[in-house]
Chains A and B, each alone.
Chain A
Amino acid sequence: MSEITEARKNSCDQNDRTSEENVESYGDSDRTRNFSDLAQEVASLDELEAEAIFILREVVAEREKPMLLFSGGKDSLVLLRLAEKAFRPARFPFPLVHVDTGHNFPEVMAFRDERVAELGERLIVSSVEDMIADGRLRDEVGPRASRNRLQTAALLDVIEKNGFDAAIGGARRDEERARAKERVFSFRDSFGAWDPKNQRPEPWALYNSFVRRGEHLRVFPLSNWTELDVWAYIRRENLRLPSIYFAHERRVFQRDGMLYAPTAGTQLLPGEQLETRSVRYRTVGDMTCTGAVASVAFSIDDVIGEIATSRITERGQTRADDRATEAAMEDRKREGYF
């Protein structure tokens, strides 16, 4: 143990940072994580892009009713760009679907609608709020209530109602340890469940897309991308992003070492208080379980600089939902979560 803890201590000491405050370290000039070689970066992005376009065309050719999950977040914006490259000048051969928890960032929702209008594509919204209103779902209660689990129900509902047989999403294997085990074409049974111990092997790029009525596939074109690749691609393609990905002043409170923005239903616990901080979001999801990070990154280059030297993963830093237990993500995925 000594060796490893030692290594970790060193990196902490050098940066003299307090992880409790969830502050990123900026000064680390560690060469091992930088894009030092432009040719390498270009080659990687070209290859990743080609692979993702191949995957998109493959699912569309082989499934009757695919859809693409679009949240307005950075990964799904990259997916839209790739879909343009795969199918333009024709329209997308699938609708876009957003599972709306009712606790989304207003900036992101506005951006979502703008982008959809620009593209002239069709958006289907599956609303957790509606399902609560008509009694099919019930909200969790208490100060830590989250709609994370309800999201799964709304996703499976929209899949079933529309008879979708493939849902294309922007999840990446580098995000989380259970996701590292995920296939590119990932089978879901008629309950939407994932069986990680019994997955179809996936040699080469020969994807098995067979499903029966009621079953579906989750398809992940960005499987082999890292967070840094996504940002490098956003820079290369000049993609616009919702403003909350960049540093801005926001009223936030600290909980479990993360910074949260209050929503309508937020109840502060004893000792918690609102303060104004310069923050940005590394992921955007349900406001009740997505944290912000302290940041002074105002441009894409700044963000890439911060991420390249960050010593905390994107989900570890911003997602309360993954922290619940050691296998939190695996458990939610088994139930049908994205």
Chain B
Amino acid sequence: MNTEVASRAHAASESRPLRFSVSGSVDDGKSTLVGRLLLDTKQIAEDQLAHVEEASRRRGFSRTELGLLTDGLRAEREQGITIDVAYRYFRTAKRRFIVADTPGHVQYTRNMVTGASTADVALLIVDVRHGVSEQTRRHALASRLFGVKNLVFGVNKMDLVDFSEAEFRRVESELLAFADKLPRSSITIVPVAALLGDNIVERSTAMPWYTGPALLEILEAAHAGGDRDKPFRFPVQWVVRPSSDEHHDYRAYAGQIAQGTVRVGDRLVAWPSGKSSIVTGIDRHPETLQEASAPLSVAIRLADNIDISRSDVLTHEGAPPRLARSFSATVAWFDAREAKVGQRYWLKINTRTVRVRLDAIEGIVDLTTLGLRAGAAALALNDLAVVRLSTSIPIVCDAYDDAPITGSFILVDEVSHDTVAAGILKSESGDEP
């Protein structure tokens, strides 16, 4: 095997960028904290800072509102709230970070789920004076439900309680009591003062009783999911077939490796047809590889012409995925229009778009107990629910816990074309949401 390729692939798994979401109730200090993180890691350019100072002055604030750094839209700055998810990027000497800044009101489920969908870590901000709110619980549970196992709580505004250890411990024990209900999660709790920068990038000197790491250190050390060792999944996106004479016989199946590793010589099976063939080449133009792992985008050549097209999923032989026409899923409902049993939508899963029908609402998730409330006739805005869906053709149904990319989907309204729900497939036996 080509050693250059091997060392590259190795590096890719060791040092992936960390993606994290940040959320909190309005005014808990989320924007300030993100602003502080960017400022203290020297990501804020002078023109941006000058702009925020000017905007703060114009609004008559006595201090520079760091929150204005991250509120990108006019309405957000006018109303002093964040409306929509925004993405920011920063890097330190140790790592690269992608931050999904997810506001927590009105469309909170939509924003939370969007942020959580790609996050390795969920950072939740709590105002030390208010403790754990209903909103905090919802955010934490929604993040966990959509696959984020690593939750970090920033207990903020410690300066307003004189950096008191007792106040911090009170909130900490509330958090720990509630975190007990979150299955298989790792919880970290850190006292911070976002406005002043305490325990954000540098450890605070105002809280000698806290001996743990600062927030940035926690993020730098966090694990980012690597999917190269999981079972191979390759949703076909596009068939590369040049019309030129020179490449007359070239045909390759292009896509991004969702998880796992593929090698030349492997026997692959295309689903749902079940036909198989052997890999003769893996192209990453202009290179040709002997092996490739998630998350690379490649084009795979096969020995036989077995009628593969977009939407098919390639896997290794010997471990067939579950195929089903009717399946259970957990969905987050984003639309103001309710969803009633019997309604039809477009389902986009992997690279496949098919019609789907809502067959049953098995229960609405109660975000305070994590239990299911049965008997609902419709799904309303912000609901998280377990439902049964059916499609006209069988599709590959990977459980989200094992295969986050192939196990997740969106629903699109047939008329408005809005994305009305995000969903994850449950494992066949699982009964908790």
B351 touches A58 (CB 8 A): yes
Which of A37-45, A98-106, A141-149, A264-272 lies on the face that meets chain B?
Answer: A37-45
B51 touches A311 (CB 8 A): no
Q: A254 at interface (Cβ–Cβ under 8 A)?
A: no
| Chain A neighbourhood of B96, CB < 8 A | 40, 44
Further 14 A-B residue pairs, CB within 8 A, beyond A7-B39, A87-B240: A11-B42, A40-B95, A43-B13, A43-B14, A43-B15, A53-B256, A57-B238, A84-B285, A181-B85, A181-B86, A201-B114, A206-B349, A312-B45, A313-B48
Interface size class of A (residues with CB under 8 A): 35 or more
CA A181 – CA B55 in complex, angstroms? 19
| Chain B neighbourhood of A326, CB < 8 A | 51, 55, 74, 77
| Chain B neighbourhood of A50, CB < 8 A | 256, 295-297
Q: B118 at interface (Cβ–Cβ under 8 A)?
A: yes
Given A46-B8, A202-B114, A203-B410, CB of A86 within 8 Å of CB of B47: no
Q: A85 at interface (Cβ–Cβ under 8 A)?
A: yes
A49 touches B297 (CB 8 A): yes
Q: B348 at interface (Cβ–Cβ under 8 A)?
A: yes
Binding site for A on B (CB under 8 A): 8, 11-17, 39, 41-43, 45-49, 51, 53, 55-56, 62-64, 66, 70-75, 77, 83-89, 91-96, 98, 110-111, 113-114, 117-118, 196-197, 237-238, 240-244, 246-247, 250, 254-256, 284-286, 295-297, 310, 334, 346, 348-349, 351, 353, 404-405, 408-410, 412, 417-419, 422
Docked complex: A190-236 residues within 8 A CB-CB of B: 196-197, 199-206, 208, 210-212, 223-224, 226
Q: Quick one: which of A42, A43, A57 has the most chain B CB within 10 A?
A: A43
Q: Quick one: which of B47, B49, B117, B247 has the most chain A CB within 10 A?
A: B47
A61 touches B118 (CB 8 A): no
Given A43-B15, A57-B254, CB of A211 within 8 Å of CB of B408: no
A181 touches B73 (CB 8 A): yes
| Chain B neighbourhood of A88, CB < 8 A | 240, 285-286
| Chain B neighbourhood of A197, CB < 8 A | 73, 75, 83-84
B73 touches A313 (CB 8 A): no
A1 touches B247 (CB 8 A): no
| Chain B neighbourhood of A173, CB < 8 A | 86-89
Smallest beta-carbon distance B142→chain A, Å: 12
Smallest beta-carbon distance A176→chain B, Å: 8
A37 touches B240 (CB 8 A): no
CA A4 – CA B64 in complex, angstroms? 7
| Chain B neighbourhood of A196, CB < 8 A | 73, 84
Given A37-B93, A180-B86, A313-B48, CB of A51 within 8 Å of CB of B310: no
A208 touches B410 (CB 8 A): yes
Given A47-B295, A208-B410, CB of A85 within 8 Å of CB of B284: yes
Smallest beta-carbon distance B132→chain A, Å: 26
Q: A19 at interface (Cβ–Cβ under 8 A)?
A: yes
- Of all chain A residues, the one with the shortest Cβ separation from B310 is A61
| Chain A neighbourhood of B117, CB < 8 A | 203-204
A39 touches B15 (CB 8 A): yes
Q: Which of B85, B118, B197, B285 contacts A85 (CB 8 A)?
A: B285
CA A36 – CA B93 in complex, angstroms? 6
B42 touches A202 (CB 8 A): no
CA A23 – CA B45 in complex, angstroms? 14
A33 touches B285 (CB 8 A): no
Binding site for B on A (CB under 8 A): 1-5, 7-8, 11-12, 19, 30-34, 36-40, 42-44, 46-47, 49-51, 53-54, 57-58, 60-62, 84-91, 173-174, 177-181, 196-197, 199-206, 208, 210-212, 223-224, 226, 310-313, 316-317, 326-327, 330-331
Given A50-B297, A180-B87, CB of A208 within 8 Å of CB of B12: no
Smallest beta-carbon distance B240→chain A, Å: 5
B238 touches A178 (CB 8 A): no
CA A32 – CA B41 in complex, angstroms? 6
| Chain B neighbourhood of A34, CB < 8 A | 93
Smallest beta-carbon distance A94→chain B, Å: 12
Smallest beta-carbon distance B329→chain A, Å: 13
| Chain B neighbourhood of A49, CB < 8 A | 297
Smallest beta-carbon distance B67→chain A, Å: 12
- Of all chain B residues, the one with the shortest Cβ separation from A211 is B417
| Chain B neighbourhood of A90, CB < 8 A | 240-244, 247, 250
CA A42 – CA B96 in complex, angstroms? 12
Q: Which of B93, B113, B238, B408 contacts A61 (CB 8 A)?
A: B238
The 7 closest A-B pairs by CB, nearest first: A316-B47, A203-B117, A177-B72, A53-B297, A90-B242, A39-B11, A210-B417
B196 touches A3 (CB 8 A): yes
- Of all chain B residues, the one with the shortest Cβ separation from A49 is B297
B310 touches A32 (CB 8 A): no
CA A102 – CA B238 in complex, angstroms? 37
Q: Which of B17, B48, B87 contacts A47 (CB 8 A)?
A: B17
B196 touches A89 (CB 8 A): no
B87 touches A37 (CB 8 A): no
CA A313 – CA B53 in complex, angstroms? 16
Given A37-B94, A202-B114, A326-B77, CB of A208 within 8 Å of CB of B45: no
| Chain A neighbourhood of B410, CB < 8 A | 203-204, 206, 208
| Chain A neighbourhood of B296, CB < 8 A | 46, 50
CA A208 – CA B284 in complex, angstroms? 26
- Of all chain B residues, the one with the shortest Cβ separation from A207 is B348
B297 touches A32 (CB 8 A): no
| Chain B neighbourhood of A32, CB < 8 A | 41-43, 91-93
Smallest beta-carbon distance A269→chain B, Å: 22
B237 touches A58 (CB 8 A): yes
A-B contacts, 22 listed (Cβ < 8 Å): A4-B63, A7-B39, A11-B46, A19-B46, A32-B42, A32-B91, A33-B43, A36-B93, A47-B12, A47-B16, A54-B255, A86-B238, A88-B285, A90-B247, A91-B243, A196-B73, A201-B110, A201-B419, A203-B118, A203-B408, A317-B47, A326-B74
| Chain B neighbourhood of A46, CB < 8 A | 8, 12, 295-296
CA A252 – CA B114 in complex, angstroms? 46
CA A54 – CA B64 in complex, angstroms? 41
Smallest beta-carbon distance A130→chain B, Å: 32
